[in-house]
Structure 1
Amino acid sequence: MREPLRERLFGLGLWLLLCLPVLLKSDPDDGGSWTGVAVGVALLGGCVAVSRRWPLVPVAVVVAVSLASAPELFTPSYSLALIAFGYLAGRRQEQTRAALWLFGTVAAAGLLLTVATHSSLGQWFALLLTLALAVVAPWLVGRYVRQYDRLVRSGWELADRMEREQAAVADRERLRERSRIAGDMHDSLGHDLALIAIRAGALEVDPGLGPAQQHAAGELRRAAADATARLRDIIGVLREDDAGAPTTPSGETVEELVSRARASGLSVSLAPAPVPTLPGMSGLALHRVVQEGLTNAAKHAPGAAVSVAVTGDGPNVRVRVASGPGSTAPAGLASGGTGLVGLDERVRLAGGSLAHRGAGDGGFVLEAVLPRNPPAPLPAAPTSARELDRARREVRRGLARAIWIPLALLGALGLLMAGVAVWTQAQSYLEPEDYAGLRIGRSLKEITDDAEDWPARPLDGPPRRTPAEPPGMDECRYYRSTMLAAIPVYRLCFVDGHLADKAKVP
Structure 2
Amino acid sequence: MTDVLLVAVSAFDVWFVYWWLEATWDVWFMGAGVFALLLRRRWPLAVFLLTMPTAYFMGPAAAPLVALFTLASRTHRRWLLAACTAVLALCMIWPVGTGIADLPVDSWLLADAAYALAPAAAAAFLGQFVQIRHQLSARLAEITEAREHEQLMATQKVLSEERAQLAREMHDVVSHQVSLIAVRAGALQVSTADAEAKEAAGTIRKLSVRTLDELRHMVNVLRAGGSGPTELAPQPTLAQLADLVAGSGIEATLRIGPHPELGPPAERAIYRTVQESLTNVRKHAPGASAEVAIAHESGGVTVTITSTAPTRPTVPLPSSRHGLLGLHQRAALLGGTLTWTATPDGGWRNTLTLPV
* More helix per residue: 2
Aligned counterpart in structure 2 of residue 298 of structure 1, from 282, 285, 305: 282
2:193 is paired with a residue whose SS is helix
2:294 is paired with a residue whose SS is strand
1:44 paired residue number: 34
Distance 1:125 1:369 in 2: 91
Q: Which amino acid aligns with 1:56?
A: L
1:17 paired residue number: 9
Q: TM-score, normalised by structure 2?
A: 0.69
Deviations 1:273-312 (CA, angstroms, capped at 9, x unpaired) = 5674324x56544443333233223322342423343658
Tell whether the 8 Å contact from 2:244 to 2:275 is kept in structure 1 after alignment: no
1:267 is paired with a residue whose SS is strand
Distance 1:86 1:371 in 2: 75
Q: 1:264-303 to 2 correspondence within 5 Å? A: 264=248, 265-273=250-258, 276-279=261-264, 284-302=268-286, 303=288
Q: 1:292-441 to 2 correspondence within 5 Å? A: 292-302=276-286, 303-309=288-294, 311=296, 320-327=303-310, 330-345=314-329, 350=333, 352=335, 355-361=338-344, 362-366=346-350
Q: 1:57-456 to 2 correspondence within 5 Å? A: 57-63=46-52, 66=55, 68-69=56-57, 75-76=59-60, 78=61, 80-91=62-73, 93=74, 96-97=76-77, 99-104=78-83, 107=86, 117=100, 133-149=118-134, 151=136, 182-196=167-181, 212=193, 220=201, 223-224=204-205, 226-237=207-218, 239-240=221-222, 241-245=224-228, 248-264=232-248, 265-273=250-258, 276-279=261-264, 284-302=268-286, 303-309=288-294, 311=296, 320-327=303-310, 330-345=314-329, 350=333, 352=335, 355-361=338-344, 362-366=346-350
Distance 1:329 1:125 in 2: 111
Tell whether the 8 Å contact from 1:308 to 1:320 is kept in structure 2 after alignment: yes
Q: TM-score, normalised by structure 1?
A: 0.52
Tell whether the 8 Å contact from 1:297 to 1:323 is kept in structure 2 after alignment: no
Distance 1:21 1:187 in 2: 86
Tell whether the 8 Å contact from 1:195 to 1:261 is kept in structure 2 after alignment: no
Task: Label 1:126 to 1:169 Cα distance change in 2 as closer, same or farther (>3 A).
Answer: same
Deviations 1:199-255 (CA, angstroms, capped at 9, x unpaired) = 6677789xxxx7528996897488447514422324414632014457554433134
Deviations 1:347-405 (CA, angstroms, capped at 9, x unpaired) = 56x46465444235354454556687xxxxxxxxxxxxxxxxxxxxxxxxxxxxxxxxx
Task: Label 1:247 to 1:268 Cα distance change in 2 as closer, same or farther (>3 A).
Answer: farther
Tell whether the 8 Å contact from 1:182 to 1:235 is kept in structure 2 after alignment: no
Tell whether the 8 Å contact from 2:30 to 2:53 is kept in structure 1 after alignment: no
Tell whether the 8 Å contact from 2:71 to 2:81 is kept in structure 1 after alignment: no
Task: Label 1:218 to 1:345 Cα distance change in 2 as closer, same or farther (>3 A).
Answer: farther
Distance 1:49 1:332 in 2: 82
**Cα distance, 1:13 vs structure 2:** 0.3
Tell whether the 8 Å contact from 1:347 to 1:353 is kept in structure 2 after alignment: yes
Distance 1:139 1:109 in 2: 11
Distance 1:310 1:18 in 2: 96
Distance 2:318 2:262 in 1: 33
2:309 is paired with a residue whose SS is coil
**Cα distance, 1:340 vs structure 2:** 3.2
Q: CA RMSD in A?
A: 4.9
Q: Which runs of 5+ in 2 are unaligned?
A: none
Task: Label 1:60 to 1:42 Cα distance change in 2 as closer, same or farther (>3 A).
Answer: closer
Deviations 1:398-452 (CA, angstroms, capped at 9, x unpaired) = xxxxxxxxxxxxxxxxxxxxxxxxxxxxxxxxxxxxxxxxxxxxxxxxxxxxxxx
Distance 1:292 1:274 in 2: 22
Task: Label 1:173 to 1:285 Cα distance change in 2 as closer, same or farther (>3 A).
Answer: same
Tell whether the 8 Å contact from 1:320 to 1:365 is kept in structure 2 after alignment: no
**Cα distance, 1:14 vs structure 2:** 0.9
Task: Label 1:185 to 1:61 Cα distance change in 2 as closer, same or farther (>3 A).
Answer: same
Q: Which runs of 5+ in 1 are unaligned?
A: 1-8, 373-506
Q: Which amino acid aligns with 2:208?
A: A
**Cα distance, 1:332 vs structure 2:** 2.4
Tell whether the 8 Å contact from 2:253 to 2:292 is kept in structure 1 after alignment: yes
1:101 is paired with a residue whose SS is helix
Distance 2:233 2:343 in 1: 36
Tell whether the 8 Å contact from 1:247 to 1:284 is kept in structure 2 after alignment: no
Q: Which amino acid aligns with 1:334?
A: P
Task: Label 1:168 to 1:144 Cα distance change in 2 as closer, same or farther (>3 A).
Answer: same
Q: Which amino acid aligns with 2:282?
A: A
Tell whether the 8 Å contact from 1:197 to 1:221 is kept in structure 2 after alignment: no
Give the number of the structure whose alpha-carbon radius of gyration is greater.
1
Tell whether the 8 Å contact from 1:299 to 1:329 is kept in structure 2 after alignment: no
**Cα distance, 1:43 vs structure 2:** 1.6
| Seq. identity, % | 22
Distance 1:269 1:25 in 2: 109
Task: Label 1:160 to 1:109 Cα distance change in 2 as closer, same or farther (>3 A).
Answer: closer
1:82 is paired with a residue whose SS is helix
Tell whether the 8 Å contact from 1:319 to 1:368 is kept in structure 2 after alignment: yes
1:478 paired residue number: none
Tell whether the 8 Å contact from 1:87 to 1:142 is kept in structure 2 after alignment: yes
Distance 1:153 1:270 in 2: 68
